[in-house]
Structure 1
Amino acid sequence: MSKLKKGEKPINIHKHLSNKVSLSTIKRWNKSIKLHGSIKFAKQGRPLSVRNSHFVKKVKKEITKVGSQRKVAQKLQISQPSVHRILKQNLQLKPYKMRVEPHLTFKQIEQRQKFVNWVRNHLSKNDTLKILFSDEKQFDIDGVYNSQNDRIWALNREQADSNGGLKQKRKFPQRVMVWMGFCSRGLTPLVIIENGTINTKVYIENILPVARDYGNEQFGDDWIFQQDGASCHTSHDSQNWCQENLPGFIPKDIWPANSPDLNPLDYSIWNQMVQEMNWNAIKSKQTLIKQLYIARNKIQAHQILDISNKWYSRVRNLQINNYKYIQ
């Protein structure tokens, strides 16, 4: 601008700028300065017809009601891509999937509050590193899949199905019940019940001795056993066995019901195992069991220690979250 106002020719300015600005642009600027006294930049493209303040306000209001871009587009009679651009670019919003979590009754929330108080009054963070958590989970040979994330890119549905986009589920798949323990030192051996379920007799004879031996091996006589509220755990015989054979355990009236967010196996370890398993190799109960052992061995020590170190803070965060379910 200063050179043009001084009367220098556009061709000289073009050379002075080492050809960084085109000659035609400098000429256009020169014309703008003569007409308006400044460089006016013309807006590129056609004017916005939908993404104006009027529709932005309407989209913001409607999306909170219905939560669907398609329904908002239908109601406002504008295209769905326009709604998408308003949400992403104008409103800076991001889509989040609806999460499913257990419904907690008022009594269960009170139990969770009682548990937090018990932990804070009886256990330090170092004490929580000596807790042996336990849980059972059922696995079947059909495996698991995520209908939202497991996508097959193809030209049509038939091609997608032939490329692995069809998931078949058996009516009565072969399955096993798996028990495992978790602590800061590692994972217990798997206890696999191939037939039937885990009742009090099976629990006392086949599972509790494994927990006792592993806990004693890792911590000596200074550790705490955790179990949830399953009937075989809370039975009179099981509670007596724990009282007589373990250095410490969380009684049935302390551990809160319906709280998978407090057991590392529930909110982390089982899912990691599922992800590590090669479901394509599972054709029978024997191959399922083989993959369970492989997946268990793939979980690394530093992951286990990291989860254990964060558990105490997780419990304390329950109070901040009003003892509701935490992710």
Structure 2
Amino acid sequence: NFTQDQKHNSQNNRCCVRNPHEVPIVAQTKFPAAVIVFGIISSDGDVMPPHFFPKGLRLDSEGYVALMRDVVAPWIKKVAAGRPYVFQQDSAPCYTSRKTQKWLSENLDDYTSPNIWLPNAPDCNPCDFYPWGAVERDTNRTACNTMAKLKARITLCFKKLPRDQVRCACSRFQSRLKTVVEVRGAYFE
């Protein structure tokens, strides 16, 4: 979820002033407009352009299969260019449904099935430990006046992700899995 408001962390953004009126005001919208984004990276450093979901959409199996069929699979086939690949996703309910699993098994070379993937494993997903944070950081430096500006900024941030850093994040996957095994699935960061 990305919002139009600038991110402000009062624990990290401190002011040393003599007069309380000198503290800069950080305006916050009561209910900022938000957009839900779907993105994919490859171990070769490729970054799929972000896919924006319509406002109010609750993604179910049918919607996810349509996204995979119409957006994701064509991008993967283009980027993989005939090379073998493994599609990795987390354990969201629409990703693990029978309908989705059937579609994945019939249409992708290989993928992580729900019985392999930990139910809650953000420490293992390269998207969670690099691109999302980098895009969110760069997107939320300043507020966006409109949803169009927010989407344009998100798209630009995805486009500017350094290929070598994306590749590095993906290459750390195996060492992160080893750490998960060492700590017996406990949180480690």
**Quick check: TM above 0.5?**
yes
Any idea what the Cα deviations from partners look like across 1:98-141, whole Å, max 9, x if unmatched? Answer: xxxxxxxxxxxxxxxxxxxxxxxxxxxxxxxxxxxxxxxx1111
CA contact (8 A) 2:5 2:28 kept: yes
1:151 aligns with 2:14: yes
Partner Cα separation in structure 1 for residue 168 and residue 128 of structure 2: 16
1:216 aligns with 2:77: yes
Partner Cα separation in structure 2 for residue 298 and residue 265 of structure 1: 15
Secondary structure of the structure 1 residue equivalent to 2:39: strand
Partner Cα separation in structure 2 for residue 293 and residue 208 of structure 1: 21
Report 1:69-218 matches (<5 A). Answer: 138-161=1-24, 166-185=25-44, 186-197=46-57, 198-218=59-79
Partner Cα separation in structure 1 for residue 89 and residue 149 of structure 2: 28
1:284 aligns with 2:135: no
Residue of structure 1 equivalent to 2:160: 298
Task: Evaluate the alpha carbon distance shift between residue 208 and residue 255 of structure 1 in structure 2; reply closer, same or farther with a 3 A threshold.
Answer: farther
1:249 aligns with 2:108: no
CA contact (8 A) 1:221 1:247 kept: no
Partner Cα separation in structure 1 for residue 69 and residue 12 of structure 2: 38
Task: Evaluate the alpha carbon distance shift between residue 300 and residue 196 of structure 1 in structure 2; reply closer, same or farther with a 3 A threshold.
Answer: same
Q: Which has the higher helix share?
A: 1
Secondary structure of the structure 1 residue equivalent to 2:41: strand
CA contact (8 A) 1:182 1:188 kept: yes
Q: Which runs of 4+ in 1 moved over 6 A?
A: none
User: What amino acid is the match of 1:141?
Assistant: Q
Instruction: Compute the RMSD of aligned alpha carbons.
Output: 1.8
Report 1:32-47 matches (<5 A). Answer: none
Secondary structure of the structure 2 residue equivalent to 1:181: coil
Secondary structure of the structure 2 residue equivalent to 1:323: coil
CA contact (8 A) 1:278 1:291 kept: no
User: What amino acid is the match of 2:110?
Assistant: G
TM-score normalised to the size of structure 2? Answer: 0.88
Give the length in aligned residue pairs.
Answer: 186
Query: How much has 1:230 moved relative to structure 2?
Result: 1.2
Secondary structure of the structure 2 residue equivalent to 1:280: coil
Task: Evaluate the alpha carbon distance shift between residue 237 and residue 221 of structure 1 in structure 2; reply closer, same or farther with a 3 A threshold.
Answer: farther
Task: Evaluate the alpha carbon distance shift between residue 208 and residue 225 of structure 1 in structure 2; reply closer, same or farther with a 3 A threshold.
Answer: farther
Partner Cα separation in structure 2 for residue 261 and residue 322 of structure 1: 13
Task: Evaluate the alpha carbon distance shift between residue 227 and residue 199 of structure 1 in structure 2; reply closer, same or farther with a 3 A threshold.
Answer: same
Partner Cα separation in structure 2 for residue 174 and residue 270 of structure 1: 19
Higher relative contact order (CA 8 A, sep 6+): 2
> Rg bigger for which structure?
1
Query: How much has 1:251 moved relative to structure 2?
Result: 1.0
User: Which ranges of structure 2 fall in alignment gaps of 5 or more residues?
Assistant: none
Residue of structure 2 equivalent to 1:59: none
Query: How much has 1:207 moved relative to structure 2?
Result: 4.1
Query: How much has 1:160 moved relative to structure 2?
Result: 0.8
